[in-house]
Structure 1
Amino acid sequence: MSKFPRLSIGLPLVLPLAALVLLAGPVRAQPSGPPSAESPAARPAPASPARAQTAPGPAGRPARGIMRYDSNQDGVVDRAEWMAGQEARFRQLDADRDGRLTQDELFARSRATPANAVLPSDREAQRQSAYFQRLDADKDGSVSQAEFIAQAERNFARCDADKDGRTDAAECRQALQRNR
Protein backbone atom coordinates (compact mmCIF):
# COMPACT_ATOMS: atom_id res chain seq x y z
CA MET A 1 0.00 0.00 0.00
CA SER A 2 1.26 3.50 -0.89
CA LYS A 3 1.93 6.30 1.60
CA PHE A 4 0.12 8.77 -0.62
CA PRO A 5 -3.67 8.98 -0.88
CA ARG A 6 -5.04 7.90 -4.20
CA LEU A 7 -6.68 10.63 -6.23
CA SER A 8 -9.53 9.56 -8.40
CA ILE A 9 -9.60 12.18 -11.15
CA GLY A 10 -11.29 10.83 -14.18
CA LEU A 11 -9.89 10.95 -17.69
CA PRO A 12 -12.75 13.19 -18.90
CA LEU A 13 -11.56 15.88 -16.44
CA VAL A 14 -7.81 15.51 -17.02
CA LEU A 15 -7.85 15.77 -20.82
CA PRO A 16 -9.61 19.16 -21.05
CA LEU A 17 -7.39 20.57 -18.30
CA ALA A 18 -4.26 19.36 -20.07
CA ALA A 19 -5.44 20.83 -23.37
CA LEU A 20 -6.16 24.15 -21.68
CA VAL A 21 -2.68 24.30 -20.15
CA LEU A 22 -1.02 23.42 -23.46
CA LEU A 23 -3.03 25.98 -25.45
CA ALA A 24 -2.80 28.82 -22.93
CA GLY A 25 0.97 29.26 -23.32
CA PRO A 26 1.02 30.11 -27.06
CA VAL A 27 -2.07 32.32 -26.76
CA ARG A 28 -0.50 34.41 -24.01
CA ALA A 29 2.71 34.68 -26.05
CA GLN A 30 0.96 36.20 -29.07
CA PRO A 31 1.76 39.87 -29.70
CA SER A 32 -1.13 42.20 -29.20
CA GLY A 33 -2.26 44.48 -31.93
CA PRO A 34 -5.16 46.74 -32.63
CA PRO A 35 -8.62 45.48 -32.02
CA SER A 36 -9.04 44.35 -35.60
CA ALA A 37 -7.31 41.95 -37.93
CA GLU A 38 -5.99 44.72 -40.12
CA SER A 39 -2.80 44.89 -42.09
CA PRO A 40 0.67 44.73 -40.52
CA ALA A 41 1.51 48.30 -41.59
CA ALA A 42 -1.51 49.48 -39.65
CA ARG A 43 -0.32 47.60 -36.60
CA PRO A 44 2.01 49.61 -34.44
CA ALA A 45 5.50 48.25 -34.00
CA PRO A 46 6.45 46.72 -30.67
CA ALA A 47 7.38 49.27 -28.04
CA SER A 48 11.08 49.87 -27.62
CA PRO A 49 13.00 52.19 -25.35
CA ALA A 50 14.41 54.05 -28.37
CA ARG A 51 10.96 55.18 -29.51
CA ALA A 52 10.23 58.57 -28.01
CA GLN A 53 6.62 58.57 -29.18
CA THR A 54 5.69 55.52 -27.12
CA ALA A 55 3.43 56.82 -24.39
CA PRO A 56 2.87 54.91 -21.17
CA GLY A 57 -0.52 53.35 -20.71
CA PRO A 58 -2.44 52.65 -17.52
CA ALA A 59 -0.34 51.85 -14.45
CA GLY A 60 2.87 52.84 -16.27
CA ARG A 61 2.66 49.96 -18.75
CA PRO A 62 3.48 50.72 -22.40
CA ALA A 63 0.43 51.86 -24.32
CA ARG A 64 -0.98 49.39 -26.83
CA GLY A 65 -2.47 49.63 -30.28
CA ILE A 66 -2.98 53.04 -31.77
CA MET A 67 -2.59 54.71 -28.37
CA ARG A 68 1.15 54.02 -28.29
CA TYR A 69 1.43 56.95 -30.69
CA ASP A 70 -0.18 59.38 -28.23
CA SER A 71 3.11 61.17 -27.55
CA ASN A 72 1.60 64.08 -25.61
CA GLN A 73 -0.58 61.70 -23.56
CA ASP A 74 -3.80 63.64 -24.05
CA GLY A 75 -5.85 60.51 -24.65
CA VAL A 76 -6.11 60.90 -28.44
CA VAL A 77 -3.78 60.39 -31.38
CA ASP A 78 -3.80 63.22 -33.87
CA ARG A 79 -2.62 62.96 -37.46
CA ALA A 80 0.81 64.47 -36.63
CA GLU A 81 1.44 61.97 -33.82
CA TRP A 82 0.33 59.09 -36.05
CA MET A 83 2.55 60.16 -38.93
CA ALA A 84 5.58 60.71 -36.67
CA GLY A 85 5.05 57.22 -35.28
CA GLN A 86 4.74 55.67 -38.73
CA GLU A 87 7.89 57.44 -39.96
CA ALA A 88 9.77 56.13 -36.92
CA ARG A 89 8.31 52.68 -37.56
CA PHE A 90 9.53 52.76 -41.17
CA ARG A 91 13.05 53.61 -39.97
CA GLN A 92 12.85 50.79 -37.42
CA LEU A 93 11.77 48.25 -40.05
CA ASP A 94 14.38 49.38 -42.62
CA ALA A 95 17.11 47.10 -41.30
CA ASP A 96 19.66 47.87 -44.03
CA ARG A 97 18.90 51.62 -43.95
CA ASP A 98 18.46 51.88 -47.73
CA GLY A 99 15.15 53.78 -47.55
CA ARG A 100 13.16 50.83 -48.92
CA LEU A 101 11.51 47.83 -47.28
CA THR A 102 11.79 44.34 -48.62
CA GLN A 103 9.10 41.83 -47.76
CA ASP A 104 11.49 40.22 -45.26
CA GLU A 105 12.09 43.56 -43.54
CA LEU A 106 8.41 44.44 -43.43
CA PHE A 107 7.46 41.17 -41.77
CA ALA A 108 10.68 40.48 -39.84
CA ARG A 109 8.96 40.30 -36.46
CA SER A 110 6.74 37.46 -37.69
CA ARG A 111 9.63 35.42 -39.08
CA ALA A 112 11.23 32.59 -37.14
CA THR A 113 13.91 33.65 -34.69
CA PRO A 114 15.81 31.59 -32.12
CA ALA A 115 13.28 32.75 -29.51
CA ASN A 116 10.33 32.05 -31.82
CA ALA A 117 11.07 29.09 -34.04
CA VAL A 118 7.68 29.14 -35.75
CA LEU A 119 7.42 30.23 -39.37
CA PRO A 120 4.24 31.95 -40.54
CA SER A 121 1.48 29.58 -41.61
CA ASP A 122 0.81 29.22 -45.32
CA ARG A 123 -2.26 31.42 -44.98
CA GLU A 124 -0.33 34.10 -43.09
CA ALA A 125 2.47 33.99 -45.68
CA GLN A 126 -0.11 34.46 -48.46
CA ARG A 127 -1.65 37.41 -46.63
CA GLN A 128 1.77 38.97 -46.09
CA SER A 129 2.63 38.57 -49.75
CA ALA A 130 -0.68 40.06 -50.90
CA TYR A 131 -0.31 42.96 -48.48
CA PHE A 132 3.25 43.63 -49.65
CA GLN A 133 2.05 43.68 -53.27
CA ARG A 134 -0.64 46.25 -52.35
CA LEU A 135 1.92 48.45 -50.56
CA ASP A 136 4.38 48.24 -53.47
CA ALA A 137 2.42 50.66 -55.67
CA ASP A 138 5.12 51.02 -58.33
CA LYS A 139 5.70 47.22 -58.43
CA ASP A 140 9.49 47.54 -58.13
CA GLY A 141 9.78 44.77 -55.53
CA SER A 142 10.25 47.04 -52.51
CA VAL A 143 8.21 49.50 -50.48
CA SER A 144 9.49 53.07 -50.40
CA GLN A 145 8.88 55.35 -47.45
CA ALA A 146 6.36 57.27 -49.58
CA GLU A 147 4.42 54.05 -50.32
CA PHE A 148 4.53 53.07 -46.63
CA ILE A 149 3.35 56.51 -45.49
CA ALA A 150 0.56 56.56 -48.10
CA GLN A 151 -0.84 53.37 -46.54
CA ALA A 152 -0.40 54.83 -43.05
CA GLU A 153 -2.45 57.86 -44.12
CA ARG A 154 -5.22 55.58 -45.42
CA ASN A 155 -5.16 53.64 -42.14
CA PHE A 156 -5.49 56.82 -40.09
CA ALA A 157 -8.33 58.01 -42.29
CA ARG A 158 -10.16 54.71 -41.69
CA CYS A 159 -9.77 55.08 -37.90
CA ASP A 160 -10.76 58.76 -37.81
CA ALA A 161 -14.47 58.07 -38.19
CA ASP A 162 -15.64 61.61 -37.45
CA LYS A 163 -12.90 63.12 -39.65
CA ASP A 164 -11.71 65.60 -36.99
CA GLY A 165 -8.03 64.70 -37.42
CA ARG A 166 -7.93 62.85 -34.08
CA THR A 167 -8.74 59.33 -33.00
CA ASP A 168 -8.51 57.04 -30.00
CA ALA A 169 -8.75 53.31 -29.46
CA ALA A 170 -12.54 53.26 -29.13
CA GLU A 171 -13.18 55.38 -32.24
CA CYS A 172 -10.71 53.32 -34.27
CA ARG A 173 -12.22 50.04 -33.07
CA GLN A 174 -15.74 51.19 -33.99
CA ALA A 175 -14.65 52.48 -37.38
CA LEU A 176 -12.82 49.29 -38.27
CA GLN A 177 -15.75 47.14 -37.18
CA ARG A 178 -18.07 49.17 -39.41
CA ASN A 179 -15.70 48.80 -42.38
CA ARG A 180 -15.62 45.00 -42.30
Structure 2
Amino acid sequence: MIPAYRPLLMFALVAAPVWAAKPPKIPKDAPYCAPAGMKPVFLSPMGEPFRGTAGQPYPAAAWFAGADSDHDGAVSRGEFVRDAERFFRTIDLDHDGRITPEEVIAYERDVAPEIALYSRSRDYLEVPTHGKPKAGQSNYGGAMGAGRYAWLNVPEPVVSADTDFNRVIDEEEFRQAASRRFDTLAGGEGKLLPAAMPRTPIQIAIEGPCRPRPKPKQGPGGDRRDGPPDSDDRARGEGAAQ
Protein backbone atom coordinates (compact mmCIF):
# COMPACT_ATOMS: atom_id res chain seq x y z
CA MET A 1 0.00 0.00 0.00
CA ILE A 2 1.39 3.40 -1.01
CA PRO A 3 1.27 5.99 1.80
CA ALA A 4 -1.03 8.95 1.04
CA TYR A 5 1.80 11.46 1.39
CA ARG A 6 4.03 9.84 -1.25
CA PRO A 7 2.25 11.30 -4.35
CA LEU A 8 2.59 14.77 -2.80
CA LEU A 9 6.28 14.18 -2.17
CA MET A 10 6.84 13.01 -5.74
CA PHE A 11 5.02 16.09 -7.08
CA ALA A 12 7.19 18.37 -4.96
CA LEU A 13 10.39 16.75 -6.23
CA VAL A 14 9.28 17.13 -9.85
CA ALA A 15 8.01 20.70 -9.48
CA ALA A 16 10.98 22.07 -7.52
CA PRO A 17 13.28 22.48 -10.54
CA VAL A 18 10.54 24.42 -12.33
CA TRP A 19 10.24 26.88 -9.47
CA ALA A 20 14.05 27.24 -9.28
CA ALA A 21 14.29 27.98 -13.01
CA LYS A 22 12.39 31.27 -12.80
CA PRO A 23 14.16 33.70 -15.18
CA PRO A 24 15.89 36.75 -13.67
CA LYS A 25 14.03 40.04 -13.72
CA ILE A 26 15.15 42.25 -16.59
CA PRO A 27 15.75 45.92 -15.63
CA LYS A 28 13.30 48.29 -17.31
CA ASP A 29 16.16 50.23 -18.89
CA ALA A 30 18.13 47.20 -20.11
CA PRO A 31 19.21 47.49 -23.77
CA TYR A 32 17.35 45.73 -26.53
CA CYS A 33 18.85 42.37 -27.44
CA ALA A 34 21.33 42.40 -30.31
CA PRO A 35 20.42 40.51 -33.50
CA ALA A 36 21.28 36.82 -33.42
CA GLY A 37 24.81 36.11 -34.60
CA MET A 38 26.06 39.67 -34.16
CA LYS A 39 29.85 39.84 -33.93
CA PRO A 40 31.09 41.31 -30.63
CA VAL A 41 33.27 44.43 -30.62
CA PHE A 42 35.30 45.89 -27.76
CA LEU A 43 36.96 49.29 -27.72
CA SER A 44 39.84 49.64 -25.28
CA PRO A 45 39.81 52.54 -22.79
CA MET A 46 41.90 54.56 -25.27
CA GLY A 47 39.82 53.60 -28.30
CA GLU A 48 41.55 50.62 -29.92
CA PRO A 49 39.05 48.17 -31.46
CA PHE A 50 39.09 44.43 -30.84
CA ARG A 51 36.62 42.40 -32.89
CA GLY A 52 35.48 38.91 -32.06
CA THR A 53 33.42 36.15 -33.59
CA ALA A 54 29.81 35.35 -32.71
CA GLY A 55 29.65 32.72 -30.00
CA GLN A 56 33.23 33.28 -28.82
CA PRO A 57 34.34 35.01 -25.57
CA TYR A 58 33.96 38.78 -25.55
CA PRO A 59 37.13 40.35 -27.08
CA ALA A 60 37.93 42.51 -24.04
CA ALA A 61 40.06 39.51 -23.06
CA ALA A 62 42.29 40.11 -26.10
CA TRP A 63 43.05 43.68 -25.03
CA PHE A 64 43.68 42.56 -21.47
CA ALA A 65 46.12 39.84 -22.54
CA GLY A 66 48.11 42.31 -24.63
CA ALA A 67 48.23 45.06 -21.99
CA ASP A 68 49.22 42.64 -19.21
CA SER A 69 52.88 42.56 -20.26
CA ASP A 70 54.16 40.67 -17.20
CA HIS A 71 51.34 38.10 -17.42
CA ASP A 72 50.38 38.33 -13.75
CA GLY A 73 46.64 38.47 -14.48
CA ALA A 74 46.32 42.20 -13.76
CA VAL A 75 47.01 45.47 -15.61
CA SER A 76 48.98 48.03 -13.61
CA ARG A 77 49.05 51.78 -14.24
CA GLY A 78 52.41 51.46 -15.98
CA GLU A 79 51.15 48.70 -18.27
CA PHE A 80 47.98 50.67 -19.01
CA VAL A 81 49.92 53.80 -19.98
CA ARG A 82 52.47 51.87 -22.05
CA ASP A 83 49.64 50.21 -23.95
CA ALA A 84 48.16 53.67 -24.61
CA GLU A 85 51.54 54.86 -25.93
CA ARG A 86 51.71 51.85 -28.25
CA PHE A 87 48.24 52.58 -29.64
CA PHE A 88 49.08 56.30 -30.01
CA ARG A 89 51.94 55.39 -32.33
CA THR A 90 49.62 53.37 -34.57
CA ILE A 91 47.27 56.32 -35.19
CA ASP A 92 50.06 58.93 -35.40
CA LEU A 93 50.48 58.13 -39.07
CA ASP A 94 53.37 60.52 -39.81
CA HIS A 95 55.10 59.71 -36.50
CA ASP A 96 55.59 63.34 -35.49
CA GLY A 97 54.33 62.81 -31.93
CA ARG A 98 50.97 64.45 -32.59
CA ILE A 99 47.54 63.28 -33.72
CA THR A 100 46.21 65.90 -36.11
CA PRO A 101 42.61 66.43 -37.30
CA GLU A 102 43.44 64.52 -40.47
CA GLU A 103 44.70 61.57 -38.44
CA VAL A 104 41.57 61.72 -36.26
CA ILE A 105 39.47 61.46 -39.41
CA ALA A 106 41.52 58.45 -40.52
CA TYR A 107 41.06 56.85 -37.09
CA GLU A 108 37.28 57.34 -37.13
CA ARG A 109 36.94 56.18 -40.73
CA ASP A 110 39.43 53.33 -41.01
CA VAL A 111 40.26 52.10 -37.50
CA ALA A 112 37.10 52.41 -35.42
CA PRO A 113 34.08 53.27 -37.59
CA GLU A 114 31.86 51.80 -34.84
CA ILE A 115 32.20 55.01 -32.82
CA ALA A 116 29.92 56.98 -35.17
CA LEU A 117 27.27 58.55 -32.92
CA TYR A 118 24.45 57.72 -35.32
CA SER A 119 25.26 54.14 -36.31
CA ARG A 120 22.44 51.62 -36.64
CA SER A 121 23.54 49.89 -33.43
CA ARG A 122 21.90 52.68 -31.42
CA ASP A 123 18.47 51.31 -32.30
CA TYR A 124 18.88 48.46 -29.85
CA LEU A 125 21.76 49.53 -27.60
CA GLU A 126 20.52 52.95 -26.61
CA VAL A 127 17.78 53.16 -24.00
CA PRO A 128 18.29 56.73 -22.70
CA THR A 129 17.88 57.43 -19.01
CA HIS A 130 17.47 60.79 -17.34
CA GLY A 131 18.86 61.43 -13.88
CA LYS A 132 19.80 58.76 -11.38
CA PRO A 133 18.41 55.23 -11.85
CA LYS A 134 15.20 54.62 -9.92
CA ALA A 135 14.36 51.51 -7.92
CA GLY A 136 14.41 48.46 -10.17
CA GLN A 137 16.44 50.23 -12.87
CA SER A 138 20.09 49.90 -13.83
CA ASN A 139 22.45 52.35 -15.51
CA TYR A 140 22.61 50.46 -18.83
CA GLY A 141 21.17 53.25 -20.96
CA GLY A 142 22.79 56.36 -22.37
CA ALA A 143 26.02 55.05 -23.92
CA MET A 144 27.20 57.15 -26.85
CA GLY A 145 29.64 56.49 -29.69
CA ALA A 146 32.57 54.41 -28.47
CA GLY A 147 30.84 54.09 -25.10
CA ARG A 148 28.58 51.43 -26.57
CA TYR A 149 31.58 49.10 -26.89
CA ALA A 150 33.72 50.19 -23.94
CA TRP A 151 34.02 50.15 -20.16
CA LEU A 152 33.88 53.96 -20.09
CA ASN A 153 31.21 56.13 -21.65
CA VAL A 154 33.61 58.26 -23.70
CA PRO A 155 32.01 58.89 -27.12
CA GLU A 156 35.31 59.68 -28.89
CA PRO A 157 38.24 58.40 -26.80
CA VAL A 158 40.98 59.93 -28.96
CA VAL A 159 39.57 63.44 -29.38
CA SER A 160 38.59 63.66 -25.71
CA ALA A 161 42.30 63.48 -24.80
CA ASP A 162 42.74 66.97 -26.32
CA THR A 163 42.64 68.86 -23.02
CA ASP A 164 43.85 72.22 -24.39
CA PHE A 165 41.27 72.17 -27.23
CA ASN A 166 43.78 73.02 -29.96
CA ARG A 167 42.50 70.15 -32.13
CA VAL A 168 45.83 68.33 -31.85
CA ILE A 169 46.56 65.54 -29.35
CA ASP A 170 50.20 65.17 -28.39
CA GLU A 171 51.65 62.09 -26.74
CA GLU A 172 51.73 63.67 -23.28
CA GLU A 173 48.02 64.55 -23.47
CA PHE A 174 47.26 60.99 -24.51
CA ARG A 175 49.41 59.64 -21.70
CA GLN A 176 47.65 61.82 -19.12
CA ALA A 177 44.24 60.78 -20.44
CA ALA A 178 45.29 57.15 -20.04
CA SER A 179 46.29 57.77 -16.43
CA ARG A 180 42.93 59.43 -15.67
CA ARG A 181 40.99 56.60 -17.24
CA PHE A 182 43.03 54.05 -15.33
CA ASP A 183 42.06 55.83 -12.09
CA THR A 184 38.39 55.73 -13.06
CA LEU A 185 38.46 52.02 -13.84
CA ALA A 186 40.74 50.94 -10.99
CA GLY A 187 38.69 52.72 -8.34
CA GLY A 188 41.64 53.06 -5.99
CA GLU A 189 42.75 49.43 -6.29
CA GLY A 190 45.95 50.21 -8.17
CA LYS A 191 45.36 47.57 -10.84
CA LEU A 192 42.71 46.28 -13.22
CA LEU A 193 41.40 42.74 -12.90
CA PRO A 194 39.29 41.13 -15.65
CA ALA A 195 36.59 40.00 -13.23
CA ALA A 196 36.22 43.51 -11.82
CA MET A 197 35.58 45.21 -15.15
CA PRO A 198 32.00 46.18 -16.07
CA ARG A 199 30.32 44.65 -19.08
CA THR A 200 29.93 46.95 -22.07
CA PRO A 201 26.46 47.84 -23.43
CA ILE A 202 27.03 45.76 -26.58
CA GLN A 203 28.17 42.84 -24.43
CA ILE A 204 24.96 43.07 -22.40
CA ALA A 205 22.89 43.28 -25.59
CA ILE A 206 24.56 40.09 -26.86
CA GLU A 207 24.77 38.09 -23.62
CA GLY A 208 21.82 39.50 -21.65
CA PRO A 209 19.92 40.31 -19.61
CA CYS A 210 18.37 42.32 -22.40
CA ARG A 211 14.89 43.23 -23.58
CA PRO A 212 13.34 41.45 -26.57
CA ARG A 213 13.65 43.60 -29.66
CA PRO A 214 10.37 45.23 -30.78
CA LYS A 215 8.98 44.59 -34.23
CA PRO A 216 10.41 46.91 -36.92
CA LYS A 217 8.66 50.26 -37.16
CA GLN A 218 7.99 52.35 -40.24
CA GLY A 219 10.17 55.47 -40.07
CA PRO A 220 9.21 58.96 -41.30
CA GLY A 221 11.02 58.42 -44.60
CA GLY A 222 9.68 54.94 -45.15
CA ASP A 223 12.73 53.16 -43.74
CA ARG A 224 12.30 50.35 -41.26
CA ARG A 225 13.98 50.63 -37.88
CA ASP A 226 14.65 47.79 -35.45
CA GLY A 227 14.26 49.83 -32.30
CA PRO A 228 12.84 53.01 -30.80
CA PRO A 229 13.81 56.44 -32.19
CA ASP A 230 16.69 58.17 -30.43
CA SER A 231 15.68 60.67 -27.78
CA ASP A 232 18.96 61.73 -26.19
CA ASP A 233 21.82 62.76 -28.47
CA ARG A 234 23.92 64.60 -25.95
CA ALA A 235 27.61 63.74 -26.25
CA ARG A 236 29.54 63.06 -23.08
CA GLY A 237 33.06 63.96 -21.95
CA GLU A 238 35.56 61.74 -20.17
CA GLY A 239 32.78 59.50 -18.90
CA ALA A 240 32.47 57.14 -15.99
CA ALA A 241 32.63 53.41 -15.66
CA GLN A 242 29.41 51.85 -16.91
TM-score range, shorter chain: 0.5 to 0.7
**1:72-91 → structure 2 map (5 Å cutoff):** 72-91=70-89
Q: Could you tell me how far apart the structure 2 residues matched to 1:173 and 1:117 are? A: 23
User: Which protein shows a greater Rg?
Assistant: 2
Q: Could you tell me how far apart the structure 2 residues matched to 1:117 and 1:149 are? A: 23
Evaluate the alpha carbon distance shift between residue 83 and residue 121 of structure 1 in structure 2; reply closer, same or farther with a 3 A threshold: closer
Q: Does the 8 Å CA contact 2:98/2:168 hold for their aligned counterparts?
A: yes
RMSD: 4.1
Q: Does the 8 Å CA contact 2:47/2:158 hold for their aligned counterparts?
A: no
Identical columns (%): 25
- In the other structure, the counterpart of 1:157 is 183
**1:8-19 → structure 2 map (5 Å cutoff):** none
Matched position secondary structure for 2:197: helix
**1:1-180 → structure 2 map (5 Å cutoff):** 24=36, 27-28=38-39, 31-33=41-43, 42-44=46-48, 46=50, 63-106=61-104, 108-111=106-109, 120=116, 122=118, 124=145, 127-128=155-156, 132=159, 134-161=160-187, 163-173=188-198, 179-180=241-242
- Equivalenced residues, count: 131
Post-superposition Cα deviations, 1:67-109, rounded to whole Å, max 9, x if no partner, equal 4301111110111111111111111111111111124434635
**Unaligned 5+ residue runs, structure 2?**
1-34, 52-58, 120-144, 147-154, 200-239
Higher helix share goes to which structure? 1
- TM-score (structure 2 length as normaliser): 0.42
- TM-score (structure 1 length as normaliser): 0.55
Evaluate the alpha carbon distance shift between residue 147 and residue 166 of structure 1 in structure 2; reply closer, same or farther with a 3 A threshold: same
Q: Does the 8 Å CA contact 2:46/2:158 hold for their aligned counterparts?
A: no
Q: Does the 8 Å CA contact 2:46/2:178 hold for their aligned counterparts?
A: yes
Which amino acid is 2:197 matched to? C
Which amino acid is 2:42 matched to? S
Report 1 or 2 for greater relative contact order, CA contacts < 8 Å, sequence distance ≥ 6.
2
Evaluate the alpha carbon distance shift between residue 168 and residue 112 of structure 1 in structure 2; reply closer, same or farther with a 3 A threshold: same
**Unaligned 5+ residue runs, structure 1?**
1-22, 35-40, 48-60
